[in-house]
Amino acid sequence: MADIEFAYTEAGVTAPVGIRAAGVHAGFRKDPRRLDAALVVSDGPGTVACGMFTKNVFCAAPVQVDRELLAQHAPRAVLLNSGNANAATGEPGLAIARKSAQAAAHALGLPDGEVLVASTGVIGVELSWEPFEKGIPALVEKLSKDGGHDAACAIMTTDTHPKECAVRFTYGGNEYAVGGMVKGSGMIAPQLATMLCVITTDAVVSAGQMQAALAVAAEHSFNRIDVDGCMSTNDTVLLLASGASGVEPDKDEFNKLVREACASLSRQIIGDGEGASHDIRITVTGATSEDAALACGRAVAASNLLKCAISGNDPNWGRIVSSLGTVPPEVAPYDSNKVTVDVNGVRICENGGAGRDRSEVDMTPREVHIDIDLNTGSDAEATVWTDDLTHEYVHINADYES
């Protein structure tokens, strides 16, 4: 087993064999310097696909179309655009999503149903057909093994940089990879967080195996980050397998790679939270169950008061325990008089009351670690990530449609 190696690579969505991608400016955005359309294609012999989507009732047209396509076909490509979410656009939005999927399939020489679609941007604005008419041929012409970075740039909205990751597994001369790209910076909450994400692999896997791996990976990554508590209409996570490596992976090995890739991408979202100056890791231990620990962590992560305090370099533990206390006892039973809270290694809350002076906490690092021990006698735990809220967050979202 000595030659098993898990290694991160610099390449993203095109790291696996049999995957090509491209990014172009098609006209969804006014600024010609901004790439705004992307295409990811699997050329492998055993392409299968699966996906997870937002639970928002106002789900966008591409989400509705992708659910239909995945239930009836075996898609091998994804067409994405930024600048317009195609959400809350009614029947015209559904028609344009279906038309763009068909047009991309025809341009690639694929049957109808084999191209998925995803959109991100402003909600409630009708999506024009002209950018697709220009962008689809340009994307097909530009497809390449080196196009992953441009694709990652093309799906950005308020992101300050593209987010990519790839993990490679080697053993006994066999090698396969899992790669991915994601966009997300604001409108981030559990239930996938707000993003478009495409993950790829060249492993030989079934759709069922991929769906199971993605569900677990998303639960421990995208479902455990929270920038501003706002759930999107467009959340989409797609996983494509080309099968081009010829390697049939061990189930646990494959699950681990998918989980590591999702963890990296979700962590990058937190690192690029809109206007954020701190990334906040909240770990709850000593809970009666993982669900209880997660509920407590999410309650603390959702506190705008705490986020503002952290922005001001104030480790206000009162805002931590007050949020913790909103979790119903039937969900997370614990004795408040036994709870401890450490911030960046300093115990500022001891047995439910004041601990060391919070002025002792060093708040200069980008990462702030909040460790909460419920001390129930059990050892279940969970970790969630969030950001602080700064003046810049307000400016970004006040001017978003301007």
As annotated, the active-site residues are: 194
Q: Which class for 121: exposed (0-12), middle (13-18), buried (19 or more C-beta within 10 A)?
A: buried
Q: What is the DSSP letter of 179?
A: E
Q: Which class for 353: exposed (0-12), middle (13-18), buried (19 or more C-beta within 10 A)?
A: exposed
Residues ≥6 apart with Cβ < 8 Å to 305? 316, 319, 323
Under 8 Å between Cβ of 50 and 210: yes
Angle separating helix axes 130-142 and 90-108, nearest 10 degrees: 30
For 296, 339, 369, 379, the CA distances from 347, given in Å and listed in that order, are: 18, 11, 12, 19
For 226, 277, 278, the CA distances from 368, given in Å and listed in that order, are: 15, 10, 7
Q: In what order do the strands lie in the sheet with 236-241?
A: 5-9, 163-171, 174-183, 196-201, 236-241, 48-53
Rounded-to-integer distance, Cα 163 and Cα 147, Å = 14
Half-sphere exposure of 306 (CA within 13 A, CB side): 28
Q: What is the DSSP letter of 102?
A: H
